[in-house]
Amino acid sequence: MRRRNRRGGLPEDHVVVNALSDSTNAHSLKRRVVREAGLVRAPGPVRDDPRPEGELFTFSYGAAELAWERWVFDSGPDELALAQLGPLLFVDETIWSTLGSALNPERGRLLVLPDLKGSTLNQVRRRIFTVTAMTAMIHCDFKGWHVVDVGAGDGLLSLVAAQGGAASIDLIDSDAQALELAVANLDRNRGSSLGIRVIHDDLRNTSGVLRQLTRTSRPTAILTSIGSWPEIYDVTNADAIRMVPLLEASAPAVRVRVELLLGAGYYLGEPWEEGGRRWSARVEAFFDDLAEVQRTGMETCGTTAKAKYNGVLFTEAWTATARSGGRAGSRSAGHEPTS
Ligand SMILES: C[S@@+](CC[C@H](N)C(=O)[O-])C[C@H]1O[C@@H](n2cnc3c(N)ncnc32)[C@H](O)[C@@H]1O
């Protein structure tokens, strides 16, 4: 059982151990699926990977490293069939149809994707950002929460929040096709009680997006893994962070309260280059966003989720919680993240 920190969705550190103990069940279920579906280990993720059998990325939160494995059908190295991140198991729909009723008792423990191969989890490098965000999410408790997935893409973070017990989810993206995939992914797995709202809009249309968001007095979490990619996207995580006070002020009668913020998608270097080159502009975006979080009155947590390539940092995901004493006076409080 994961226990929620009184102030937000983040558990106390010792709960990390409990969250990871869920992985034991995931490991045995994974072994079973691998054996019965005849899967083979996926080759390494980087084209010039000198060790094709090795998955050189590792994902950690504090001292805890999560298992990260990808398995493919023996028909080809790109035929992703199963991906494991600690307690999370994602399987392709065909696994379900192949193994049929034998897997029925495991229905709630596997996240079934209609097209795992076409999902972000099968995209070289890009998946690392998503998986890092998930690494942070595993240590959050979404039970009964409302979640806003900003730049939802194919909805994998929403899927994890749903499995973590989220009551409702707003998905925002400007890409209609991505949202269709997100809904298909959620529909395949969600129980009847999960409410989802699809907001197909441009985040730059702040007031329009705000108008469409769910107003609820349930604790709200905002997830954003857009990162800072000015050459690709015209918005960044900072735009999502700035939504916090706007959303809270938009419906005083409902008392909307953002209790948890999660930011991911930061490109902190090219660790496969000799010595690991860090891109200063990218690193600045990470710290600028933490400063932006402070301005909202939320408090960034010291522990971040990290992805390393061969031991060198590639990306990081931060979380922040509402302060127990409310927003007042919080602007001056400094809080350095650990790195
Ligand atoms: C890096 S992807 C993250 C996808 C997903 N959340 C994940 O972690 O796998 C960023 C997403 O932000 C969306 N996006 C980019 N600019 C946007 C904008 N101006 N308004 C809304 N969504 C936007 C993209 O369409 C894309 O799906």
DSSP assignment of 241-284: HTHHHHHHHH-TTTT--EEEEEE------BTTSTT-B--HHHHH
> Mapping DSSP to helix (H, G, I), strand (E, B) and coil, where does residue 37 land?
helix
Query: In whole angstroms, what separates CA 221 from the centre of its chain?
Result: 12
Query: Is-contact 237 289, C-beta < 8 A?
Result: yes
- Cα Dmax for the chain: 59
Report the atom number in ligand 1 closest to the C-alpha of 153: 27
Q: Is 333 exposed, middle or buried (0-12, 13-18, 19+ CB in 10 A)?
A: exposed
pLDDT tens per residue across all 339 residues of the chain: 344 444 445 544 434 444 455 677 889 899 999 999 999 998 765 555 554 445 688 999 988 899 899 999 988 888 999 999 999 999 999 998 888 777 777 777 899 999 999 999 999 889 999 999 999 999 898 999 999 999 999 999 999 999 999 999 999 999 999 999 999 999 999 888 899 999 999 999 999 999 999 999 999 999 999 999 999 999 999 999 999 999 999 988 899 999 999 999 999 987 777 667 777 778 899 999 999 999 999 999 999 999 998 888 999 999 999 987 554 333 222 223 333
Q: How far apart are CA 283 and CA 95, in angstroms?
A: 40
Angle at 140 between CA 134 and CA 142, to 5 degrees: 100
Strand residue runs (E) in 156-304: 168-173, 195-200, 220-224, 258-263, 298-300
**What is the CA(179)–ligand 1 centre distance, in A?**
10
Q: Sketch the domain layout of the chain as residue ranges.
A: 15-122, 126-322
Candidate from 224, 226, 266 with most ligand 1 atoms within 8 A of CB, to mutate:
226
For residue 253, report the phi and psi dihedrals to the nearest 5 degrees: -65, -30
Which residue's CA is minimally distant from atom 8 of ligand 1?
A: 130
Candidate from 90, 113, 233, 242 with most ligand 1 atoms within 8 A of CB, to mutate:
233
The CB of 288 under 6 Å from ligand 1? The reply is no
Give the pLDDT confidence score for residue 48 in this predicted structure. Answer: 53
Please give the CATH number for the structural domain made up of 126-322.
3.40.50.150
For residue 61, report the phi and psi dihedrals to the nearest 5 degrees: -135, 115
